[in-house]
Amino acid sequence: MRFLRENAWEVTVEYSFNHYGDRGSVDIVGWHAETRTLLIIEVKSRIADVQDLHATMDRKCRVVPGLLARKRGWRALNVGRVLVVVDTTTVRRTVLSHAVTFDAALPERTSAVRRWLRRPAGPVAGIWFLPPITPRDGKQVSTGPHRVRSRPRPSAAVRGRPRRRSGIRASVAEAMSEEDVPVADPRRGAKWTRRDLPSPGVMSGGNRGVGATYHHPG
C-alpha cells in the first residue's frame, strides 16, 4: 500500500461490485491519474484453485474498469492486473507446476511488476512475490532454509510465574496501571483509588492481591 501511494497511485481497498450478476470484490484497486492507468490487484496467501483464480481475475478485469469509469470518472487507457502472493515454497511450486498457464496470463514477475508500478506505461500482467510477514513485529522475513534450535527448558521457578501478556492485552494492562485511577468495587458499589493494578480476584470478590493498596475517598 505504501509503495503504491509513494508512486502516485490512488488506492482503494476491497472495492465491491455487482453488475448484472457479476459480483465480487477487488482486493486493491489503484488509479494512476497522470498516465490514466487502472490497477487491479488480487492478493493470495496460497493458490488453491488455479483455474478459479484466473477466471476470477478475468471477470474483475472485464467488469471493474467500466464501472469505475462511470462511477468515478476513471477512464483508463491501460489496465494492469497483478497477483500478489506470499513467497513460500508451496506457492512457488504451484506456479512452476502450472507454468504454461501463468506464463500466458501473468507473464511478468516481481522485478518487472515493481518497475512498471513506478512508471506505468502500457498494460501489465504479472505476479508479485512478497516475503511473509511475522505477526509480532510486522517485518518481512526470509523463507529460505534455516536451522531450528530447541528452546532450553525453563526452570521450575520460571514455570511457576504467570505468563506475560502481549498485544492488546498488554496495552490494556499498561493503560490500567496508572496510579489514582477510580475503580468501582462490585461488592459495595463504592469507588476506590487504585495505587497498584489489582489481581483478578479483587474485582471478582476474592482475596486481595499481595501488594495492592486501596484508599476509599470518603
In 3D, which of 178, 180, 212 has the Cα closest to residue 193? 180
CB 102 within 8 A of CB 116: no
pTM over 0.75: no
> What does the angle CA 92 – CA 51 – CA 55 come to, to the nearest 5 degrees?
115
Domain boundaries, the chain: 2-130, 168-210
| Residue with more model confidence, 170 or 53 | 53
According to CATH, what is the number of the domain 2-130?
3.40.1350
Task: Give the pLDDT band of residue 120 (cuts 50, 70, 90).
Answer: very high
Task: Give the pLDDT band of residue 22 (cuts 50, 70, 90).
Answer: confident
Place of cell 532454509: 145
Place of cell 529460505: 144
Dihedral of CA atoms 55, 57, 62, 68 in degrees, nearest 10, equals 150
- Give the integer Cα–Cα distance in Å for 43 and 128: 9
CB 26 within 8 A of CB 64: yes
| Residue with more model confidence, 153 or 33 | 33
* N-term to C-term CA, the chain: 54
List beta partners, residue 86.
130
Express each pLDDT in 55-76 by its tens digit: 999 999 999 999 999 999 999 9
Give me 154's grid cell. Answer: 525453563
- Give the integer Cα–Cα distance in Å for 135 and 140: 10
